[in-house]
Structure 1
Amino acid sequence: MNIPMSQLRKNALFQQMTEEEIRELVDLSSCTLEVYEKDTLVVQENDPCSTLGVVLEGKLHIQQYDRSGDALTINVFRHGDCFGAPLLFTPHPLYPFTLLTLTPSTVLFIPFEQLTRMLRENPTFNHNYLAFLSRHILVLKNKIKILSHNDVRSRLMIYLSREMDLAESPRFTLRHKKTEIAEIIKVARPSVSRELTNMERDGLLELRGQQVEILLPEEFIL
């Protein structure tokens, strides 16, 4: 298997590591590389999880379904993201979500046995892993906070506040398309466009394509 180490360096778990360090740490011979077409089921909720999935190309979204069959998009994964990490030390690791591709995608699967060794042998990787878990908790907390509000503006403001925090600036580029934002905050896509226009009219933000400037950051603390 031939994978450019530069691709893995873009993943949060390999930050601050050289390509040589990654090459020495990751045993690609025990990993699996999977290539998926668009709209492909990657994992099903309650499937056993024994690997860390590292997204090398494409976009995938994780979903959960309620009793009525409605899908809730929890997050969108891109190149540089990974999934399965929080399940490493659980006694019975089962995927708590369904994962599907939004575009043609490539995923590297690293067995948990190897992941445990990597955590033990490399302090930088270990630190990155713990930092990733912390961010994962914040993402879930943010999702719960969004769903606790019924109105579109509040949900959208919480989403934008999170994006502003990630960018560490009131000026940032939207990482998600409006369709994806609608799925994340669980509203209709036209409602996202309409409310962004209303928020711009009310002087809360300026929007130029995917570029956003939050004009009144204090109003986004909900």
Structure 2
Amino acid sequence: MRQYWRGVMEHLESHPLFAGVEPGVLQGVLEQADRLEIAKGETIYQPKRFRRCLGVLLQGQVQVRREQLLVSVLEQGDVFGAAALFQMAQQYPTTLKALTPCTVLLIPQDQVRKLLHESGAFAENYVVYLSGRIHFLSRRLDTMCASSSQIRLAQYLLTAQDEKGDVTLSATQLCQRIAVGRATLYRAFEALEEEGLITRDGKTIHITDVRRLGTYANL
């Protein structure tokens, strides 16, 4: 196996989706996969141009949009493509665009099927991954349907907080996450601060009362 494939192999062995997969099985799959270098600004997937592959972002950031709606921003280690893998729709539901230079691994459908058949660990990991995606998209839909920017911000903070109740993002990133402009975001900040629900220190937002913020966000 070439040197760069050994690096990819090591990356996947530490990835939650491939944890516990037998090295021989994983190596055989990698030999059939494609490793792509994507330039900043290049479109990776779009509704009428995509591949029935499971993608793993090895390096970089990728923006995911459905028409004008920002769905998410993929980071290193994130997975994409499951929506087109085992169904016959002729269009992919979102557009994926590289925000930075990216390295992407594309695992063909038949190789994913091989993993599901030959590795119980991968099958279980894949179910966990799909369950997580369903939960994420459900919460994302709740956020997008919220009646005000303050509620959308509150809902996002509750889903993104760490164990300390903190969320660290730039204003630009947060605007992208909840699909509002900068002025609207700052008004939402002020509203939540006036309610005593959050405090801010630079890029870090601290939730001061999770229970009250949940009530405010209708959760």
| Fold match (TM-score > 0.5) | yes
**1:78 alignment partner, one of 41, 60, 75:** 75
Tell me whether 1:157 sits opposite 2:151 in the alignment.
Answer: no
RMSD: 2.2
Alignment match, 1:63: 65
Letter in 1 for 2:158: S
Alignment match, 1:54: 56
Quick one: distance in 1 between partners of 2:13 and 2:139? 27
Alignment match, 2:26: 25
Aligned length: 210
TM-score (norm 1): 0.84
Relative to 1, partners in 2 of residues 1:62 and 1:10: Cα closer, same or farther, differing over 3 Å? farther
TM alignment of 1:46-195, pairs within 5 A: 46-65=48-67, 71-92=68-89, 94-164=91-161, 167=162, 169-174=163-168, 176-195=169-188
How far is the alpha carbon of 1:80 from its aligned partner? Answer: 1.2
How far is the alpha carbon of 1:144 from its aligned partner? Answer: 1.4
Relative to 1, partners in 2 of residues 1:198 and 1:49: Cα closer, same or farther, differing over 3 Å? same
Letter in 1 for 2:85: L
TM alignment of 1:198-209, pairs within 5 A: 198-209=191-202
**2:209 alignment partner, one of 199, 206, 216:** 216
Per-residue CA deviation, residues 157-181 of structure 1 (Å, 9 max, x unaligned), is: 11111113xx4x243443x543232
Contact residue 58 and residue 76 of structure 2 kept, 8 A: yes
Relative to 1, partners in 2 of residues 1:32 and 1:177: Cα closer, same or farther, differing over 3 Å? farther
Letter in 2 for 1:25: L
Is there any run of 5+ residues in structure 1 with no aligned partner, and where?
Answer: 66-70
Contact residue 60 and residue 77 of structure 1 kept, 8 A: yes
Larger mean CA deviation between 47-56 and 204-213 belongs to 204-213
TM-score (norm 2): 0.85
Contact residue 25 and residue 115 of structure 2 kept, 8 A: no
